[in-house]
Amino acid sequence: MTGPLPELEKSLDKSKIARPAATVLLVRDRSDENRSEDGQSACNIEVFMLRRNLNSDFVGGAFVFPGGGVDESDRQDPGLEAVCSGLTDAAASDQLGLATGGLAYWVAAVRECFEEAGVLLARRDDGEMIPFADPYVVARFGEARLKVYSGDLRIAALCSAENLTIALNDIVYFSHWVTPMGPTRRFDTRFFIARMPENQEPLHDGGETIASVWISVDEALERQRSGEFEMIFPTVKNLEDVAQFGSVDELIAEVRGRSSIPMIMPQIKRDEDGGFSILVPGDDGFIEA
């Protein structure tokens, strides 16, 4: 990926620590009428994407997945253990290559997905995902969404009050990207895959995000290449990974089978023409950059 060199020099801070963050790719299989007829190798996966507010000081106008920083409440809430199942902190930390605290990334992924997309990845006592079909339920959880966003309600308290369990094994660890040295806003982001629950309908929040869309992975990449669908580099690369799979079942099965997830911190290489290239491990010139 090439383009004009960003004004990195204005905000250089080599000691800036990348903030822990979690991002969720909500995915579903394309409907029969929209499925590709190119054969078994065609990607028939759709992903939910949000467009960030044009006035945002971080990637304004870009299409992104639901996500954000890991908050202290994602780590320290004493009510979390009672409403989480399927994954211990030790197991989560092992997946992420951390000594401890890994579970907070999964919790942050659930919280951010609810805040930004209105999708709650939690199950009832009967094992089914919570449905948002009844207008009263929709209104009640819509109010809860605002309270979680403002910090007045924690995700654990919401699940406890509604008798819900966060099934963490529904959320699959997918990739690990770290912002390169240079910008003052750096993120150490864990990306997750989650199947879109039935009987829920995602929607942008109208504040941080101003639009939302279900889009096939292939179409998103094609529109990005044509310049009409702005996405940042890690978003593009994650979609390129998803594009290798024909269905959500194939995607999740393969990702669950990965023995390790490498950390990727791109490098920025100055070009002779004054522009720049973004390189990842394996690219020519990555080591030198």
Q: What sign has the CA pseudo-torsion 178, 179, 180, 185?
A: negative
Give pLDDT, residue 196: 96
131 or 10, greater pLDDT: 131
Judge whether 121 lies within some domain. Answer: yes
> What size, in residues, is the chain?
289
Judge whether 3 lies within some domain. Answer: no
Mean pLDDT, rounded, of the chain:
85
The structural domain count of the chain equals 1
Q: Which residue range(s) make up the domain with 224?
A: 18-262
Express each pLDDT in 153-174 by its tens digit: 999 999 999 999 998 999 999 9
Express each pLDDT in 33-86 by its tens digit: 555 555 445 899 999 999 987 766 667 788 999 999 999 999 988 888 889 999
Look up tokens 């079909």; give the residue: 133
Express each pLDDT in 86-119 by its tens digit: 999 999 999 999 999 999 999 999 999 999 999 9
Judge whether 57 lies within some domain. Answer: yes
d(CA 243, CA 261): 18
Give pLDDT, residue 277: 65
Judge whether 274 lies within some domain. Answer: no
C-alpha distances out from residue 280 to 98, 260, 272, Å:
23, 17, 19
What CATH number has the domain bearing residue 92? Answer: 3.90.79.10
Judge whether 176 lies within some domain. Answer: yes
Judge whether 24 lies within some domain. Answer: yes
Judge whether 269 lies within some domain. Answer: no
d(CA 246, CA 101): 34
Judge whether 52 lies within some domain. Answer: yes
